[in-house]
């Protein structure tokens, strides 16, 4: 029996994880569940999965959550410190499925406590990958990737010293074939409609801009220890091949599977074993052909921005991530246009200096400064055709 702590239990990855838990009651039990604000859903999950502890990050939601769970045998707490504390409590695996840099403190807390982490929260690695991997090396905590591409690489990675290239596939998102001018008018509702995966709003927008693939390159660099120039991206609209490793002898090992997050999550939950899942099986004869194409970095400049941040290192990935979180939130709220997401990120990167974050405090400081700068560009973008000016410039 593995005891799980699920950070971000009310989200899309949280739901897929809990689906697998419910199907395997003899293998998994739930020690703790957390959410950001959604106390109603968290209370429902607590009644179903009977954890010892639930934590809501939003302190204003504590009273409602505590009242909803009054009389239940569960400890209820709230706030950022409680979130990090629950991640350190004894468990066999912490599933890190909070969205954004908000997931960094509890995820790092789990790693520092030596607890294996099944990692979906890519932003935590993008912001503080060196701190996270150093802590994992120190405590021996395994980092098991849930992101489908990284989980694919994890499955086919043999001897790292014989790897010549690691390729992450990208669906290309909903605007893969759309001319750049037309993207100026796309709405949040269109952008969250991913063609192959069903996911939370932020990662869906990141997939539409291809920033998601850029964040994943940075994530892969931290996880797999290869040089940035050994990492590549291939657009594969069918989302059936999730990642490929090319070895020095010319062999390429790839992992295939249906576009259902329960496959990589099941792999991470059961590792080093495997468990059955109810997902639809691949019928390659019916599929017939697998299609691939190069990503278009002119129409999707966010990918190039992330690649440059990876190559430059230091705090550039943290700045990129913070600016992107601000810009995506502004787009989802209708405050800026789709093209302005990458424009805000580019302007923030240009405006910020580059330093090497040595501690978690440095990361938070950089993250906070980058968010403040990005907010200024969001305000400016609202007032003018900012993306158009930048493209012209």
Q: How far is the CB of 7 from ligand NDP (least distance, A)?
A: 7
Q: How far is the CB of 391 from ligand NDP (least distance, A)?
A: 27
Asked if 199 touches ligand NDP (CB under 6 A), the answer is: yes
Asked if 122 touches ligand NDP (CB under 6 A), the answer is: yes
Q: How far is the CB of 80 from ligand NDP (least distance, A)?
A: 7
**Where does this chain touch ligand NDP (CB under 6 A) — which range of 98-106, 166-174, 228-236, 276-284?**
98-106
Nearer to ligand NDP, 323 or 381 (CB): 323
Asked if 197 touches ligand NDP (CB under 6 A), the answer is: yes
Q: How far is the CB of 29 from ligand NDP (least distance, A)?
A: 19
Asked if 109 touches ligand NDP (CB under 6 A), the answer is: no
Tokens encoding 74: 């569960």
Asked if 200 touches ligand NDP (CB under 6 A), the answer is: yes
**Where does this chain touch ligand NDP (CB under 6 A) — which range of 19-27, 63-71, 198-206, 312-320?**
198-206
**Where does this chain touch ligand NDP (CB under 6 A) — which range of 65-73, 115-123, 357-365, 369-377?**
115-123
Asked if 11 touches ligand NDP (CB under 6 A), the answer is: yes
Nearer to ligand NDP, 78 or 305 (CB): 78
Asked if 13 touches ligand NDP (CB under 6 A), the answer is: yes
Asked if 97 touches ligand NDP (CB under 6 A), the answer is: yes
What does the alpha-carbon distance between residue 261 and residue 150 come to, in Å, rounded to a whole number?
A: 12
Q: How far is the CB of 77 from ligand NDP (least distance, A)?
A: 13
| Residues 206-225 within binding reach of ligand NDP (CB under 6 A) | none
Q: How far is the CB of 245 from ligand NDP (least distance, A)?
A: 19
What does the alpha-carbon distance between residue 253 and residue 271 come to, in Å, rounded to a whole number?
A: 19
Q: How far is the CB of 260 from ligand NDP (least distance, A)?
A: 9
Asked if 126 touches ligand NDP (CB under 6 A), the answer is: no
| Residues 242-281 within binding reach of ligand NDP (CB under 6 A) | 261
Asked if 57 touches ligand NDP (CB under 6 A), the answer is: yes
Asked if 99 touches ligand NDP (CB under 6 A), the answer is: yes
Q: How far is the CB of 240 from ligand NDP (least distance, A)?
A: 15
Query: Is residue 365 reached through a cis peptide bond, with omega within 30 degrees of 0 on the bond before it?
Result: no
What does the alpha-carbon distance between residue 99 and residue 87 come to, in Å, rounded to a whole number?
A: 15
Q: How far is the CB of 256 from ligand NDP (least distance, A)?
A: 17
For the chain, the three-class secondary structure string (H helix, E strand, C coil) is CEEEEEECCCCHHHHHHHHHHHHCCCCEEEEEEEECCCHHHHHHHHHHHCCCEEEECCHHHHHHHHHHCCCCCCEEEECHHHHHHHHHCCCCEEEECCCCHHHHHHHHHHHHCCCCEEECCHHHHHHHHHHHHHHHHHHCCCEEECCHHHHHHHHHCCCHHHEEEEEEEECCCCCCCCCHHHHCCCCHHHHCCCCCCCCCHHHHHHHHHCHHHHHHHHHHHHHHCCCHHHEEEEECCCCCEEEEEEECCCCEEEEECCCCCHHHHHHHHHCCCCCCCCCCCCCHHHHCCCCCECCCCCCCHHHHHHHHHHHHCCCHHHHHHHHHHHHHHHHHCCCCCCHHHHHHHHHHHHHCCCCCCCCHHHHHHHHHHHHHHHHHHHHHHHHCCHHHHHHHC
Asked if 37 touches ligand NDP (CB under 6 A), the answer is: yes
Binding site for ligand NDP (CB under 6 A): 8-14, 35-38, 57, 97-99, 102, 120-123, 147, 197, 199-203, 261
């Amino acid at each position: 029996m593995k005891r799980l702590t699920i950070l971000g239990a009310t989200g899309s990855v949280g739901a897929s994880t809990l689906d697998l838990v419910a199907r395997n009651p003899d293998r998994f039990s739930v020690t703790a569940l957390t959410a950001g604000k959604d106390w109603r859903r968290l209370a429902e999950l607590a009644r179903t999965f009977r954890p010892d502890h639930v934590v809501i990050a939003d302190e204003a939601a504590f009273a409602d959550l505590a009242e909803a769970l009054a009389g239940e045998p569960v400890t209820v707490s709230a706030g950022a410190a409680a979130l990090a504390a629950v991640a350190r409590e004894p468990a066999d695996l912490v599933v890190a499925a909070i969205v954004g840099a908000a997931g960094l403190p509890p995820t790092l807390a789990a790693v520092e406590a030596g607890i294996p982490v099944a990692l979906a929260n890519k932003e935590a690695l993008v912001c503080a990958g060196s701190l996270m991997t150093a802590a994992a090396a120190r405590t021996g905590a395994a980092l098991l990737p849930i992101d489908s591409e990284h989980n694919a690489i994890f499955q086919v990675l043999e001897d790292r010293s014989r790897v010549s290239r690691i390729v992450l596939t990208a669906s290309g998102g909903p605007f893969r074939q759309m001319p750049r001018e037309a993207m100026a008018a796309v709405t949040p509702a269109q952008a969250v409609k991913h063609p192959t995966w069903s996911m939370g709003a932020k990662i869906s927008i990141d997939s539409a801009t291809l920033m998601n693939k850029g964040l994943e390159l940075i994530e892969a660099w931290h996880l797999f220890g290869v040089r940035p120039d050994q990492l590549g991206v291939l657009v594969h609209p069918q989302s059936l091949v999730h990642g490929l490793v090319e070895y020095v002898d010319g062999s390429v090992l790839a992992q295939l599977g249906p576009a259902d997050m329960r496959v990589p999550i099941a792999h991470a939950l059961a590792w080093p074993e495997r468990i059955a899942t109810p997902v639809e099986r691949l019928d390659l004869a019916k599929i017939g052909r697998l299609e691939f194409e190069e990503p278009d970095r002119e129409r999707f400049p966010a990918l190039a921005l992330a690649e440059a941040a990876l190559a430059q290192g230091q705090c550039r990935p943290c700045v990129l991530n913070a600016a992107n979180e601000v810009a995506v939130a502004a787009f989802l709220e209708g405050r800026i246009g789709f093209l302005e997401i990458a424009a805000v990120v580019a302007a923030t990167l240009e405006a910020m200096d580059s330093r090497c974050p040595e501690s978690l405090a440095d990361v938070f400081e950089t993250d906070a400064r980058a968010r403040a700068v990005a907010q200024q560009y969001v305000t400016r973008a609202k007032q003018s055709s900012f993306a158009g000016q930048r493209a012209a410039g």
